[in-house]
Structure 1
Amino acid sequence: MSDAAEVQYEVVVNGEDQYSIWPADRPLPAGWQAVGVRGPKAACLAHIETVWVDMRPRSLRQFMEQQTAQ
């Protein structure tokens, strides 16, 4: 097995705009898509920290927007 620092991850996102990382050498789980960022764990987590600024699931954000518009 390779050293933990050498393990490559992919940044993935699901249909609710929730982010995670996934080992790059494994098939993605159902419902998740790669966003095109791959690298060491720390780099992938740093990317997520910059792009995932609203932790609420997409469905909740949309519901709250609809309530505000009424």
Structure 2
Amino acid sequence: MFDDESAVYAVVINDEEQYSMWPDDRELPAGWRREGTVGTRSECLERIDRVWVDMRPRSLRMWLAEHASA
């Protein structure tokens, strides 16, 4: 499903600020929302590479930040 270079995809993000891409014409799975980028597979993967610089889940990043001074 995600190998089709001619398909249109949307970049999606979840509450943990993890990114993925999803076929633009399909309903999103629960817990995911559109990030705003729509395009080819390559375009979406390029966008994800640019914006998802820290792959740790948001909850882990927050926990580590809270406990960094401890």
Q: Taking structure 2 as the reference length, what is the TM-score of the superposition? A: 0.91
Hey, which bits of structure 1, 4+ residues long, moved more than 3 A? none
Partner of 1:21: 21
Give the match's secondary structure for 1:69: coil
1:8-60 Cα shifts (integer Å, max 9, x gaps) = 00000000000000000100000000011000001100000000000000000
Gaps of 5+ in 2: none
**1:6, CA displacement in angstroms?**
1.9
Identity of aligned residues (%): 49
Partner amino acid for 1:43?
E
Instruction: Give the length in aligned residue pairs.
Output: 67
- What is the alpha-carbon root mean square deviation over aligned residues? 0.8
Amino acid at match of 2:14: N
Larger Rg: 1
Structure with higher helix content: 1
State whether structure 2 residue 15 is matched by structure 1 residue 12. no
